[in-house]
Every structure is written in C-alpha cells, then in structure tokens.
C-alpha cells in the first residue's frame, strides 16, 4: 500500500503540542493556521499514488514507497529521483521548500556512507540503518532541525554558562536512552511533518560542547516536545486574495525540548563533535538533499518568470525591448538553474557503488540561489510598478456591487478581464510583496546556511589548483 494523502492526514492527528497566538492547540490538522498547507502535502502523496511508476519503487520486502528513499546504486536511479523531485516541486510550483522528499534525501546520503557511522560505533550505525528502514517503510515525512538558536554568537553553546540548555543538549543518559533539554532554532514544516531529525551544525569546542554534539530522530508528538509556531500566513488568508500564502505556508517553528527521552535506537551520534559535523560534511547528506532543493528552486524560478511575463502582457508592455530584456533575464536565471540541475543528476561521482551528485556543483547552487533571488524579486517589482497596489482591499470588495462597478471600469487590460487582472496582480503581490513572500526571501537567503557560510564552504571546495594552472600557462616568468 502506497501512503495516500488520507493516510498521511490520519497519521498526523497525533496530539502533538503546538503553541500559536497565545494558545496551545489541539487538532492542528484542521486548525486554520495549518490546515491548507497540510492539505497541499496530502495532495503530494496523492499525486505520488497516481504516478506510482515514476514516483515510487518496490523495496526488496515488497513495499511500494516514494523514490526519495531509494539509494542511488545506478546512474538511472539518481536521474529518476531527480525527476521525481522536479515533478513534485511542480505540484507546488516550487513554494514548498520542505516537501516530504527533503529530509529523507539527507538520510539517504548518510546511508550511502554508512561505513563512516560503522567506524564510529556499530550500535549507532545499526540505529541509523534500522531507523532508515522504519521511516522509509512507513514513507514518513521528516523535517530537520540543525541550527542552535541565536543568542550570543561569539560564544559556543557551552560558553552560555548562565543557561547551558539554551541550545539543545544532553541532561542525562540512562539504560533506555538520552534525556535532552533546550532549543533548536527552526524546523520548517514542524506542523506538517511526522518526525524531526535533529542534528548540529554550528562549530562546537572540544571539552566544552560535547553535550550538544548529537543527532537523533523522534516523532513530533513525543512527550516534552513543544512546537512554538511563528505567525501563520495562511490564517485568515482568502485563497482568492493570497493564492500562495493560503496554500503553501509550510510554517517554521522553534522547537523546545522539555526533558525529552530519546531511545538509544533513535540516537545516531552521541556527544561526539567531530562525528556530528562529519555526518553532514563527509557523507552525501548535503548533496542528495540539495539536489531536491535545486529541482524545487529551478521550478520556482520558471514560475516567477512566467508570472512576470503574464503581468507584462496584461499591462501591455511585453513588446517593449527593455521589458523583454528583463523577462529574458528572469528566464535565463531559471534555465541556468535547470542546467545546473541536469548536470547534477547526469554527471555523478561514484562512491562505494553509489552515484553521488557533485559537491562543487551543488555548493554553486547554494551560493547562486542566494544571490539570484533578490535580483529576481527586484526585476519583478520593477516591472510591476504600482499595479500590485492599485488593487481592491480584498475579495469582499468584488462582492459589493458598488465597488465591483468601479473595479470593472478601472482595472483595464487589453488581454484580460478586470477580475482576471485583479487576480493576477494579487498573485504577483503574494509572490514578491506579502509577508509570505518576505519569508520566502529570507528562506532562500538562509535555509542552506548564511551567505558567509555558503561562500566560505564553496571557497574550500572549489578546484583552485586547476584554475591557477590556467594562469600559469600564460604567466611570463
Ligand atoms: C525561513 C527559514 C527557514 C529555516 N528552516 C530551517 C530548518 O528547517 N531547519 C534548520 O535546521 N534550520 C532552518 N533555518 C535556519 C537556517 O539554517 C539558519 O538561518 C542559517 O543556518 C544561518 O544561521 P542563523 O540564522 O543563526 O544566522 P547567524 O549565524 O546568526 O548569522 C546571521 C548574520 O550574522 C552575520 N554573521 C554571523 N556570524 C558571522 C561570521 N562568523 N562571519 C561573518 N558574518 C557573520 C552574517 O551577516 C549573517 O548573515 C531556517 C531559516 C530561515 C530563515
């Protein structure tokens, strides 16, 4: 049985603790702050059922599960998982960053390098292998939380001596597992996912920070996990006014662990700083996960190029050469990312019998996606002019005959009706100007790490020797 949208919704009614707008809510699945985004995820599961040939595979035990759980043991498998990610991204036109294929891709990249875990600890490697089998068999939706909360960034977590559990750390270990307390900065999709993978990415100091050097996975309804949701952009958003906010607000939540027991069979790294970083840096975790990210980003840029062209057409400026140049620039960004995506899935490196996407290409994506996105928004805003504000205040205005009469006389376009024009302009606003759009701007800038980090890591990864060899060819001694 492939996991359907309905089964996902049933499983999600798990009694987890979520706080929003001063309340601890029950039944978040039907709550107006989360319900539409949750339905968008359910639609993804249903899409997969309908397109099982290209979106799923059969395991050795006969289970039919999502392709993003498959290890890329042939070049074709890497290409197939890339295409599946692209197809899923198209269903949300690139606006759901943490769709259910994101974090499993990270775990897949750990499994391709399981020998690293084995050389660290046979028990922890078994825990990871068994967890992967369990989560994939159930086709779980996982989110992840790696980053420590901001506080004093000049100190490591252990140097916050007045509050050593500001960042999530171990309180005690016992025969059953470890008890953890403290915070992880953000888990996008914590209201939407079944479980969370917790890791650590921030530099930690030997001898001070071992208690924070952990990785584990737990269900989001585990006793003691408190999900502190940010403002919901779908809450109160009429889909006709906010077509994106109302459907794809995947939410970001701070996670507070109030003395949570994590069983040993779900602990993958325990109090080991080097291993904690190596599970991300020295495996295929980042690159397989980023392949999904790159597919989604390319789809989003194609959507934004199409949206801008539609707006220019409605405004009758499409044939102006300078406008064509701006639109071409948007299309070029989209094609650039698509080309990167294609080379990533078609030019892998072989490691341990697995076909692994190239790290330098994916680090390029991280850097470029951060620098392109503000330009894309800038171009669309420039093309939009005041048209994205010369709009009725909400759908309610269209239901008032007096206002509707004025709208019909004023929202003129040669190629669209007044209502079509209003709807399109509202979509543009939701993509570039609404609070949802602003959050997306921040997402593209930070989700893969702050720009100083992505650039710093790219600097280390790039093949400087080969580029310097070119310089040597023409240097005059
Ligand atoms: C919308 C959104 C969703 C997210 N979702 C998730 C998620 O699901 N899971 C998850 O684990 N994380 C998530 N994150 C967190 C994300 O990974 C972090 O924002 C990112 O790693 C940067 O860390 P930070 O925000 O603590 O910024 P900081 O590290 O505090 O940096 C902020 C700024 O301070 C300056 N700065 C700080 N240190 C330095 C330095 N050493 N050198 C130079 N400049 C410096 C830079 O200007 C930098 O941009 C999300 C973030 C956003 C915005």
What pLDDT, in 10s, does the model give residues 58-105? Answer: 998 888 999 999 999 999 999 999 999 999 999 999 999 999 999 999
Smallest CA separation from ligand 1 atom 13, residue: 186
CB of 448 closer than 6 angstroms to any ligand 1 atom: no
Instruction: State the closest ligand 1 atom to the C-alpha of 147, by its place in the atom list counted from 1.
Output: 11
What percent of the residues of the chain are helix, what percent strand, and what percent coil, each to the nearest 5?
A: 55, 15, 30
pLDDT at res. 25: 95
268 token code pair: 């993958």
Taking the CA of residue 62 as centre, how many other CA atoms within 13 Å lie in the half-sphere pointing to its CB?
1
150 is in an annotated binding site: yes
153 is in an annotated binding site: yes
11 token code pair: 């499983």
CB of 145 closer than 6 angstroms to any ligand 1 atom: yes
Please give the domain boundaries of the chain with CATH numbers for all domains: 5-281 (2.40.110.10), 284-464 (1.20.140.10)
**195-198 and 142-145 as β-strands: parallel, antiparallel, unpaired?**
parallel
Taking the CA of residue 421 as centre, how many other CA atoms within 13 Å lie in the half-sphere pointing to its CB?
23
pLDDT at res. 1: 78
pLDDT at res. 18: 98
Write out pLDDT tens, residues 181-222: 999 999 999 999 999 999 998 789 999 999 999 999 999 999
pLDDT at res. 9: 98
| Sites in the chain below the pLDDT cut of 70 | none
Distance of CA 449 from the midpoint of ligand 1 (Å): 5
pLDDT at res. 80: 98
pLDDT at res. 141: 98
Cα–Cα dist 397/407, whole Å: 9
CB of 204 closer than 6 angstroms to any ligand 1 atom: no
Cα–Cα dist 122/410, whole Å: 71
pLDDT at res. 332: 98
SS3 state of residue 242:
coil
For residue 23, list its beta bridge partners: 20
CB of 187 closer than 6 angstroms to any ligand 1 atom: yes
Contact 128, 268 (CB under 8 A): yes
Contact 344, 294 (CB under 8 A): yes
Distance of CA 40 from the midpoint of ligand 1 (Å): 27
Contact 91, 44 (CB under 8 A): yes
DSSP 167-230: B-EEEEE-SSEEEEEEEEEEEETTTT-SEEEE---S---TTT-GGG-EEEEEETTSTTEEEEE-
CB of 452 closer than 6 angstroms to any ligand 1 atom: yes
Q: What is the DSSP letter of 51?
A: T
Closest CA to 178 of 190, 168, 166, 186: 168
Distance of CA 326 from the midpoint of ligand 1 (Å): 31
Alpha helices, DSSP H, located in 56-175: 75-91, 102-111, 114-120, 122-137
């Amino acid at each position: 049985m492939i996991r359907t949208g309905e089964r996902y919704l049933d499983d999600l009614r798990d009694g987890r603790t979520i706080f929003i707008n001063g309340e601890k809510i029950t039944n978040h699945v039907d709550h107006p702050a989360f319900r539409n985004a949750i339905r968008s995820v359910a639609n993804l599961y249903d899409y997969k059922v309908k397109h099982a040939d290209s979106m799923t595979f059969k395991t050795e035990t006969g289970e039919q599960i999502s392709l993003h759980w498959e290890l890329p043991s042939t070049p074709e498998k890497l290409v197939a998982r890339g295409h599946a990610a692209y197809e899923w991204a198209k269903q949300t036109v690139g606006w759901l960053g943490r769709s259910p294929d994101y974090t499993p891709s990270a775990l897949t990249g750990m499994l391709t390098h399981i020998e690293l875990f084995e050389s660290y600890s046979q028990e922890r490697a078994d825990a990871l292998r068994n967890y992967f089998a369990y989560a994939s068999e159930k086709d779980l939706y996982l989110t992840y939380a790696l980053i420590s909360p901001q506080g004093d960034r000049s100190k490591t977590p252990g140097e916050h001596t007045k509050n050593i559990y500001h960042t999530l750390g171990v309180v005690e270990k016992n025969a059953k597992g470890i008890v953890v307390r403290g915070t992880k900065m953000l888990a996008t999709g914590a209201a939407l996912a079944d479980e969370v993978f917790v890791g650590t990415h921030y530099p930690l100091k030997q001898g001070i920070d071992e208690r924070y050097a952990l990785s584990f996975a737990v269900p989001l309804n585990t006793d003691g996990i408190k999900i502190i949701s940010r403002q919901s952009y779908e809450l109160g958003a009429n889909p006709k006014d906010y077509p994106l906010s109302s459907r794809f607000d995947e939410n970001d939540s701070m996670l507070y662990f109030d003395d949570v027991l994590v069983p040993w069979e779900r602990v993958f790294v325990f109090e080991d700083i080097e291993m904690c970083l190596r599970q991300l840096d020295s495996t295929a975790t980042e690159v397989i996960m980023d392949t999904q990210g790159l597919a989604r980003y390319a789809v989003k840029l194609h959507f934004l190029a199409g949206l801008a062209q539609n707006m220019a057409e409605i405004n009758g400026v499409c044939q102006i050469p300078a406008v064509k140049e701006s639109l071409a620039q948007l299309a070029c960004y989209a094609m650039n990312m698509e080309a990167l995506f294609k080379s990533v899935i078609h030019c892998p490196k072989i490691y341990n019998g697995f076909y692994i996407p190239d790290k330098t290409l994916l680090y390029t994506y991280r850097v470029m996606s951060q620098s392109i996105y503000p330009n894309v928004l800038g171009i669309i805003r420039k093309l939009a002019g005041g048209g994205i504000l010369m709009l009725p205040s909400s759908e309610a205005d269209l239901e008032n005959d007096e206002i509707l009469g004025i709208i019909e006389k004023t929202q003129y376009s040669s190629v669209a009706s007044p209502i079509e024009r209003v709807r399109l302009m509202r979509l543009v606003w939701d993509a570039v100007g609404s609070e949802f759009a602003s959050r997306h701007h921040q997402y593209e800038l930070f989700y893969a790490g702050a720009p100083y980090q992505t650039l710093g890591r790219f600097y280390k990864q790039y093949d400087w020797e080969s580029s310097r060899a070119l310089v040597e060819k023409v240097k005059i001694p």
